[in-house]
Chains A and B, each alone.
Chain A
Amino acid sequence: MGHPEKAKEFTRDLDRTHWHDKALWFVREKRDRAIKAVPEWEQLREQAQKIKSHTMANLDLLLEQFETNAKAKGIQIHWAKDAEAHNRIVLQILQDREMTRLVKSKSMLTEECELNPFLEKNGIEVIDTDLGERIVQLRQEHPSHIVLPAIHLKKEDVSTTFQEHLQTEAGNNDPTYLTRAARTHLREKFLAAEAGLTGVNFGIAETGGVVVCTNEGNADLGSSLPTLHIASMGIEKMIPRLKDLAVFTRLLARSATGQPITSYTSHYHGPVEGGEMHIILVDNGRSEMLGDPLFRKALNCIRCGACINTCPVYRRSGGHSYGYIIPGPIGSTLGPGKDLAAHRTMPYACTLCGSCTNVCPAKVDLHQQLYYRRQQVVDAGLLDPPKERLLNLAGWLFKHPALLDFTGRLTRKVVPCLPRALLYNRFNPWGEERELPEMPKKSFKELYKEKKGGQS
């Protein structure tokens, strides 16, 4: 099933669709208020774009610098060319130390690599400790948003899930009660964990350290209670200098949730006392994207989720309708970049309204990328054949004005004579819920000729 079919499912429950739209629009409005309190907002975006583009142009050198500096701090560095390599490295680190209990904080990269099922298959207990991620993990679902993983769920849904898995009271939907229950449950998991895995928001070449931003402090617990900390990091997370970080921390939380800064912005510059710290640098298709001038700017993404919150299609179709681990505008360019055939409907789940490009703190040219992704889909022969034939026929017709005029005249003559049942049926998706325009007797061209004829 592609996006249209799943979106159709989603919109079947109109109340829920509107609720979802409003929940995310609320975040978008909060973001608007937050950024309007920063006079230099647009300069910050521009600076972020420049830093990231510079970083991408010098990625090889910066990564080497990062590796050298990290090693000097006692951090062990691993390189993974793809998801499989990444997963094997994590497993190996755990198995070498005979560890079986891992707590994880939010990491879209490990979602991308499908780390959890891989580890579980190999006898490792993996607990997601971000509240939203834990909820979807208990439900055996995927996150529906990169920052708000359980945004598709109402508190009633969470209550039922917790009742089933954490034995909370039936029908108690109080968010505070539910959060407390989750906290108690997670605390046990934290204390029992042997290893903690975190994602990385920024890797600083100059210092060899990494920065993780969360609102729940779960990354901090997970990386400091156990003696082993593994940080999984996509190679595009690099920034050159510590002072560049300020630009991004100012942009990230405001764009994501409208907060001035994330509750926790934690810097990791070495293992905890007596412990170990490992960083896995993951490529998984990123270098390939770097080589593509049309799409390379997607690597500037800092995963704030703002483009997702503002997307009018996402808000009304939900994250799961995209069928890729990252939904919304950024997912719709990354997904097809990974597997064009599997994600061919993603670039079309978009009206090209351009709101995403405008909110993006790193100035990723999102709607342009989706426009070009469509050309890739067509060039690869992946558009529905009837649709492509129709569009090519139209394109051909537009090169033949006389024939076009004739077709137009015919349509305007014939349509008004047709009985409604012939016009409005399942072969006319336009007309299922909309009236067709009323057919005028004459085209503008005909009227124009009459007018000019009358004048001369």
Chain B
Amino acid sequence: MRIGLFIPCYMNELYPGASMATLEVLERQGLEVDYPLEQTCCGQPMANSGCTKNLKDLAQRFLRIFKDYDYIVGPSGSCVAMVRTHYAQFLDGEPGFDRLKERTFELCEFLHDVIQVETFDISFPHKVGLHNSCHGHRDLGLGTPSELHVPCTNKLENLLLKVDGLELVTVKRPDECCGFGGTFAVAEKEVSVVMGNDRIEDHLSAGAEVMTGADISCLMHIDGLARRQGKPLKVMHMAQILNGEVPHGTS
């Protein structure tokens, strides 16, 4: 099984640590992982702003680079959602697109559904708050959204529960948006900041030492707010916890 590692552009530049953790978690499962060097960006920032000008090119690029892998795995729910839910507008009917769509997974989803990891053989003796980032949560179905009346499950929680010593805290609003939202964070800065601070408060009052999630863009926003205000909340990507790292910053 050959896995194409899909690292979002900003993660490559700003979060090499979480990116490396993603690679290592997969390798520790004995998987053969390849990171195609010519990859850049899935196009999500432009798409979410409505700028479609370069998107067909970027989507075709992505398809060309990744189409021959057995699985394409990326540590970002929103970027994977871009491929799975929004590429159709640009790639519908292109040879290989349906296969690509079916085989592109968010990291935790892949570990949970495809590899069905039994144990990570690691411990993380800390109180952890899980942030269910919206695109992964609602568009990819990583967890059951609180709005729906269907049997409840959460793939991220299931994985975290396999980590020794990890205590998952219960927040009041488990799937409320953090207010990152791509360019929203800047265009609607005030609302974005209130939303982010509200998440931080919810996690802190639940007793979380570390906040984790499957989308580092949200975590970057939360971390930026928490650090500015000197809040005692560390932020880590799921991959970093599953890779057995000790609490540190996101990078």
State the A residues within 8 Å of B (CB): 3-4, 7-8, 11, 14, 17-18, 21, 25, 32, 35-36, 38-39, 41-42, 310, 312-313, 316-317, 347-355, 357-359, 371, 373-379, 383, 387-388, 391-392, 394-399, 401, 404, 408, 411-412, 429-430, 432-440, 442-449
Contact = CB atoms under 8 A, between A and B. Distances in A.
Which 8 pairs, one residue from A and one from B, show the smallest C-beta to C-beta distance?
A374-B50, A351-B181, A395-B54, A434-B224, A358-B147, A444-B19, A353-B134, A353-B177
B37 interface: yes
A8 B48 CA distance: 22
Nearest to A374: B50
Nearest to B145: A358
Given A354-B138, A379-B50, 17 more contacts: A36-B149, A41-B149, A42-B149, A350-B184, A351-B192, A351-B195, A353-B134, A359-B147, A374-B48, A383-B49, A399-B61, A404-B40, A429-B186, A432-B189, A433-B189, A440-B14, A440-B251
Interface string B179-204: 11111111111111111101000000
Nearest to A438: B251
Contact of B45 (A39, A348, A355, A391): A391
B12 A408 contact: yes
B179 A312 contact: yes
B13 A392 contact: no
B41 interface: yes
A442 B16 CA distance: 7
Nearest to B180: A351
B49 A351 contact: no
A352 B48 contact: yes
A387 B134 contact: no
Contacts of B220: 437
B51 A392 contact: yes
The range of chain B's interface size is 35 or more
B244 interface: no
Contact of A21 (B190, B198, B227): B198
B46 A437 contact: no
B135 A352 contact: yes
B207 interface: no
B13 A408 contact: yes
B191 A317 contact: yes
Contacts of B48: 352, 371, 374
B213 to A, nearest CB: 14
A442 B139 CA distance: 32
21 contacts: A7-B188, A25-B173, A35-B149, A312-B176, A352-B181, A354-B145, A371-B48, A373-B50, A374-B50, A383-B49, A387-B49, A391-B51, A392-B51, A394-B46, A397-B40, A401-B39, A404-B40, A408-B13, A412-B13, A430-B224, A433-B189
B16 A398 contact: no
A440 B12 CA distance: 10
Contacts of A42: 148-150
Contacts of B196: 434
Contacts of B49: 348, 374, 378, 383, 387, 391
A449 B134 CA distance: 33
A6 to B, nearest CB: 10
Nearest to A402: B38
B53 interface: yes
B20 A447 contact: yes
B250 interface: yes
B177 A383 contact: no
Interface string B1-24: 000000101011111110110010
B79 to A, nearest CB: 12
B223 A435 contact: yes
A451 B181 CA distance: 33
Contacts of A411: 13
Given A355-B177, A358-B145, A439-B14, A444 B224 contact: no
